Amino acid sequence: MILKKIQLVLFYIFCLAVTNTTLAQTDSAATAKQVVEKFQSELITVMKNGKQLGYAGRYKNLTQPVSDSHDLTKIARIIVGKEWEKLSETQQQKLVDAIIRLSIASYAHNFKDFSGESFIFDSEEETTRGGFVVHSHLVIPDDKPVKFDYMLKEKGNSWRIINIIANGVSDLALKRSEYTTILQREGFDSLVAKINERIDAYSKL
């Protein structure tokens, strides 16, 4: 009788452990929609305090949200295309660091204040290559809404943004066209210098 009770207790503990593990895995595996909506929520929070924070404060507060939601290493690789393989490991890391700072700086500059804006989810769809596109739009009082299409690819146990298309204009395509040309014509150091110049300009505008 005692043996059976011990077996039942052990079985219960085992089932509880399996259930908790499954729940933990489910909680950690954010969907593409959840990744986008969490980032948008954090962006709105920063906008609401944008004037008080100033550029430096917005940059600081957006550093983690941008890093958590974007695959900035993949973005850097896509931006320079085949030129990536020609770069040394040191150059690759230097470029990734520059793209990370540029991305955060861009958000800190472009989303600087709040006047009642809100993001609205429209739909999501799976791509033929296993990615997801999350469609949403930014409602701007007394102005036309801005349509945002977020392209995400799986990374680890979550999803990460690799491109944002705003009103039909691809940020990744624009950067790839510009940066690849600079890299091929003027070299790596010139490309990083120009990225740093843009970051500096964002901080002063």
Q: Please state the rounded mean pLDDT for residues 170-197.
A: 96
Is the per-residue pLDDT at 201 higher than 50?
Answer: yes
Choose between 101 and 6: higher pLDDT: 101
Name the residue ranges covered by the structural domains of the chain.
1-30, 31-204
47 vs 129 pLDDT, higher one? 47
pLDDT score at 25: 37
CB 135 within 8 A of CB 123: yes
CA–CA gap between residue 56 and residue 52 (Å, rounded)? 10
Averaged over 172-197, what is the pLDDT?
96
* Sign (positive or negative) of CA dihedral 119, 120, 122, 128: positive
> Residue 131 is inside which H or E element, if any?
none
pLDDT of residue 7: 44
Is the separation of the CB atoms in 175 and 167 below 8 Å?
Answer: no
- pTM score, whole prediction: 0.84
Burial state string for 83-122 with b = 16 or more CB within 10 A and e = fewer than 16: beeebeeebbebbbebbbbbbbbbbbbebbeeeebebeee
Condensed to tens digits (0 to 9), the pLDDT of residues 150-171 reads 999 999 888 999 999 999 999 9
Count other Cβ atoms within 10 Å, centred on residue 138.
19
Task: Give the helix/strand (H/E) hosting 167.
Answer: none
DSSP state for residue 87 in the 8-state scheme? S
Model pLDDT, residue 205: 76
The per-residue pLDDT for 15 is 39
Please write the tens of the pLDDT for every residue from 43-100: 999 999 999 999 999 999 999 999 999 999 999 999 999 999 999 999 999 999 999 9
Dihedral sign for Cα atoms in the order 196, 59, 73, 165: negative
Contacts of 125 (CB under 8 A, 6+ apart): 132, 133, 135
Q: What is the pLDDT of residue 140?
A: 96
Tens-digit pLDDT profile for residues 1-54: 444 444 433 334 333 343 443 333 334 468 999 999 999 999 999 999 999 999
According to CATH, the topology of domain 31-204 is Nuclear Transport Factor 2; Chain: A, (3.10.450)
